[in-house]
Structure 1
Amino acid sequence: MSHARDLQVQLDAQRRAFTAEPYPSLATRRDRLTRLATLTRRHRDEIAEAISTDFGQRAEVETRLAEVATILQGAGFARRRLRRWMRPSRQPVGWRLQPARARVHTQPLGVVGIISPSNYPWSLAWLPAIDALAAGNRVMIKPSEQTPATSVLMARLAARYFAPEELCVMEGDSEVARAFAALPFDHLLFTGSAAIGREVARAAAANLTPITLELGGKTPVLIAGDADLEKAAERIAFGKWLNAGRTCIAPDYVLVEAPQLEGFLKAMQHQVSRFYPEGTASRDYSSVPGAEHRARLESMLYEARNHGCRVIELGERLELADGGVKLPPTLVVDPTENLAIMREEVFGPWLSVIGVPDMDNAIARVQRAPRPLALYAFTDDSDLRRRLLEETHSGGVVFNDTLWHNAVPALPFGGVGESGIGSYQGEAGFRRFSHARAVFLQSPRSPVGWLNPPYRRWLLRLLGL
């Protein structure tokens, strides 16, 4: 009860502040974005250290690329475009209502709640906060309890750079998270697993709180017959083993035309040896935190082995002195659809590789699976690209690479179906955390009075009604 009461007190304080300033100026919004970027830039070394502490070991370059650079880029992108986003947009009214005028006015929602995950504990908390602040809202963040060092740093820096009625970070365990999700926010964004996402949605429904859910899923990769296998392997290896596979849009399984299967497996082994010449001991390869999560992954791999799957480990399991554990990049060849590795999102360094007769078969497999957060395809065939865009569904699509669509702040980021509800980032995020308010301005010369009762049937015929 004390958790819920403390959270409600903070929400009430932010709501009062919002009521006193319901439409922050362009200058105020830009200032908040500048402070958020400064917070990240000045303390990037502390951020990298905190995340590595939580992970056991996190490659510092990965933190700078995926956690620091994304925030600086997102905040700068929003600052530069905010004036245009805030400008009311004129809309046509149709000749029957002229000379009246119409426009859409974007209005801040109020207080936005953000529940962030542990895999990218910095960027996945602050990226939606950028959009919410740009839209003129107040923000409350509940970071993951699985990354305590990062959460402590986040709360300390938020209190240093922001007034608590502007933005605050609420630390705590899973009980705090449940109480947080039950608050009557004006919008709630959650990033995490589908199972927890369902709980968040149920809690939000009690208050009719609008929600955005980013849930991940099993991201497929299709390799067509015209693909360059070495290049495809290079880009897939980067996307898969960044953060040791703990990326919601990481490749989850590969569908490759059967004659190319062995060639692709060799290309993958070659790329992994190039990326990590010291194997799992490389400082550029991250550990997998959480004993429970590692046990789930190892159980998944054990089941695949027991069912006769070929398992190719591209390194050795490594236990670190500070308690972290590195699980090696691993290829699982031709697992059947009933295995856990094909039923569940892997969220780790295992990659399934499946030989298929042709791309028709690959497309059919994607179509009957739950809709993923991303889809990757390696092909220069324009007809196949068109088919993938028209016949499949996913949050995003990338041709001849992986992950990089999420580095383009002008592109919306979000899922569809089981991979999520709604999208944010850039203008899409500004719109997500705003209310599009319809405004109609009647003219004193308006002829609509002719439509008052008693109705003139001849006038309806004249208007084509």
Structure 2
Amino acid sequence: MSAEPAWKHATQQPLSELDRVLTLQRKAFAANPMPIAGQRRQWLNTLRDLLSAEREALIAAISSDFSHRSGDETLLAELMPCLMGIDDARKNLQKWMKPARRKVGIAFQPASAKVVYQPLGVVGVIVPWNYPLFLAVGPMIGALAAGNRVMLKLSESTPATGELLKRLFAQVFPEDLVAVVLGEAEVGIEFSRLAFDHLLFTGSTSIGRQVMRAAAENLTPVTLELGGKSPAIVAADVPLKDAAERIAFGKTLNAGQTCVAPDYVLVPEDRVEGFVEAYRQAVLGFYPTLTDNPDYTAIINQRQLTRLTGYLEDATRKGARVIALYDQGQDRRMPFSLLLNVSDDMLVMQDEIFGPLLPIVPYSRIDQAFAYINQRPRPLALYYFGYNKAEQQRVLEQTHSGGVCLNDTLLHVAQDDLPFGGVGPSGMGHYHGREGFLTFSKAKGVFIKQRFNAARLIYPPYGKAIQRLVYRLFIR
């Protein structure tokens, strides 16, 4: 680890230090407001080389923050998506940057029009604790590809990862291009108040409201990725083994600490017991035991474990039937549990769970499942399991969510050519791939005329014959 960072003292005087870095990056951007494709590609190459070279250190740091985090999960869910995202940006950068030709109406000829994609300036990114690498680097890819400077605020819950990224990025990027900010919640509050050219926040809906309120003081545009209660629907005729196994993977990855993890499952009432058994077999197949199992990730800290335990106690007290899939956990490796007979007054059905608890809600007709989802805040993701094409189409047309997987979970997030983002309470705006480039760019409309000016025909004084002719041609 590096020496004690300046940001450790930022809780006493955060604003002056944050302002210093923002001013530094603004000056650097002003000196190079439209980086050429080659320079942007070099930034991405540098980032890719760094992540590849330091993958073991990154795995170790993230595991340290969690007390134990599966190294394979970090490779699969953090490092691989980062590298794939960089590769996609490098491959498509020239095409994304190319001005787009647009049509000019006949009344305004001779002229031409185009859209120029211009870097915004300095982009702020507030990074959550659950995927501290991917949710830092993912937005950073789009911001750098678009030609911006980047300030990252890492979570206080992942100090080892934050210290490592601060040190590694400082080795390969000047502070006026990429800067990592560390510190407690007070620093995060001041960070969100900075006059960025764009601010991206990933986290809870409640904190997202505060971030948006702070950004509004500077009219800073925001992208909010907020999560929510993402449902899974099991159709009446889908093989339960298929559905349960794929739902189990989406729920057990990172011990359920994923913003797009299935939060509850809607199951036909006559298939509930069958689904319970299929889910149990799938989870036990993944993790035969929790004790000393290197594949199973711990809950990030005691505060989150206490919150999840409180959900179980509250649900049990209010009549839920809890089916624990293991006798006990180990340290903060919390056992997986299914919850039946749940009701809306239970905390587990009100808050995003963010852990290894899975409520099951029975339904009798698919319309009831749609109604149940539509009566609640719009989620970040929705998962449907069933092979009937007509019913799949109904899911797409009759529900709202940030994104959808048909017959899978999570993997839509890994598709670089798909936009990722929420809707309403689950967020606003998109990034990843081309959408990330566009989010961090200003699509500037440009209208071009050269020497000849036909528009003088409609200049005042009005009432000339040519003007009356123009009106007849275009106003009917």
Q: Structure 2-normalised TM-score?
A: 0.95
One of 138, 145, 151 as aligned partner of 2:156: 145
Q: Deviations over 1:290-328 (max 9, x none)?
A: 2111111111111111122111111244334xxxx1111
CA distance in 1, matches of 2:200, 2:327: 38
Is 1:36 equivalent to 2:47 in the alignment? Answer: yes
Is 1:248 equivalent to 2:255 in the alignment? Answer: no
SS of 2:353's partner is coil
Is 1:108 equivalent to 2:119 in the alignment? Answer: yes
CA distance in 2, matches of 1:459, 1:416: 44
Alignment of 1:203-218 (within 5 A): 203-218=214-229
CA contact (8 A) 2:156 2:182 kept: yes
Aligned residue for 1:387?
A: 394
Is 1:2 equivalent to 2:9 in the alignment? Answer: no
The AA in structure 1 aligned to 2:414 is A
Aligned residue for 2:4?
A: none
**CA shift at 1:446, angstroms?**
4.3
| Number of residue pairs matched by the alignment | 461
CA contact (8 A) 2:290 2:329 kept: no
Aligned residue for 1:236?
A: 247
State percent identity of aligned pairs. Answer: 47
CA contact (8 A) 2:319 2:341 kept: no
SS of 1:279's partner is coil
CA contact (8 A) 2:126 2:154 kept: yes
SS of 1:294's partner is helix
Alignment of 1:113-192 (within 5 A): 113-192=124-203
CA contact (8 A) 2:290 2:330 kept: no
Aligned residue for 1:420?
A: 427
Aligned residue for 2:365?
A: 358
Is 1:396 equivalent to 2:379 in the alignment? Answer: no
CA distance in 2, matches of 1:334, 1:96: 66
Aligned residue for 1:276?
A: 287
Aligned residue for 2:5?
A: none
Aligned structure 1 segments of 4 or more residues deviating by more than 4 angstroms: none
CA contact (8 A) 1:280 1:316 kept: no
CA distance in 2, matches of 1:235, 1:334: 23
CA contact (8 A) 1:18 1:138 kept: yes
CA distance in 2, matches of 1:435, 1:371: 28
CA distance in 2, matches of 1:245, 1:18: 40
One of 319, 323, 330 as aligned partner of 1:312: 323
CA distance in 2, matches of 1:309, 1:318: 21
The AA in structure 2 aligned to 1:128 is P
One of 61, 64, 76 as aligned partner of 2:72: 61
**CA shift at 1:247, angstroms?**
0.1
Unaligned stretches of 5+ residues in structure 1: none
CA distance in 2, matches of 1:449, 1:289: 68
Aligned residue for 1:49?
A: 60
CA distance in 2, matches of 1:241, 1:459: 67
SS of 2:338's partner is strand
Aligned residue for 1:302?
A: 313
CA contact (8 A) 1:317 1:326 kept: no
SS of 2:106's partner is coil
CA distance in 2, matches of 1:280, 1:367: 40
Q: Structure 1-normalised TM-score?
A: 0.97
Aligned residue for 1:437?
A: 444
Q: Deviations over 1:103-136 (max 9, x none)?
A: 0000000000001000001110110000000000
CA distance in 2, matches of 1:27, 1:460: 49
Greater mean deviation of Cα atoms: 53-62 or 311-320: 311-320
Aligned residue for 2:106?
A: 95
CA contact (8 A) 1:107 1:437 kept: yes
Greater mean deviation of Cα atoms: 95-104 or 426-435: 95-104
Aligned residue for 1:222?
A: 233
**CA shift at 1:280, angstroms?**
4.9
**CA shift at 1:443, angstroms?**
4.2
Greater mean deviation of Cα atoms: 192-201 or 274-283: 274-283
SS of 1:117's partner is coil
Q: Deviations over 1:139-197 (max 9, x none)?
A: 00000000000000010001001010010101111111111111100011111111111
CA contact (8 A) 1:316 1:327 kept: no
CA-atom RMSD in angstroms: 1.1
Q: Deviations over 1:327-382 (max 9, x none)?
A: 11110013011211111100000001111111110000111110000000001112
CA contact (8 A) 1:191 1:215 kept: yes
CA distance in 2, matches of 1:422, 1:226: 35
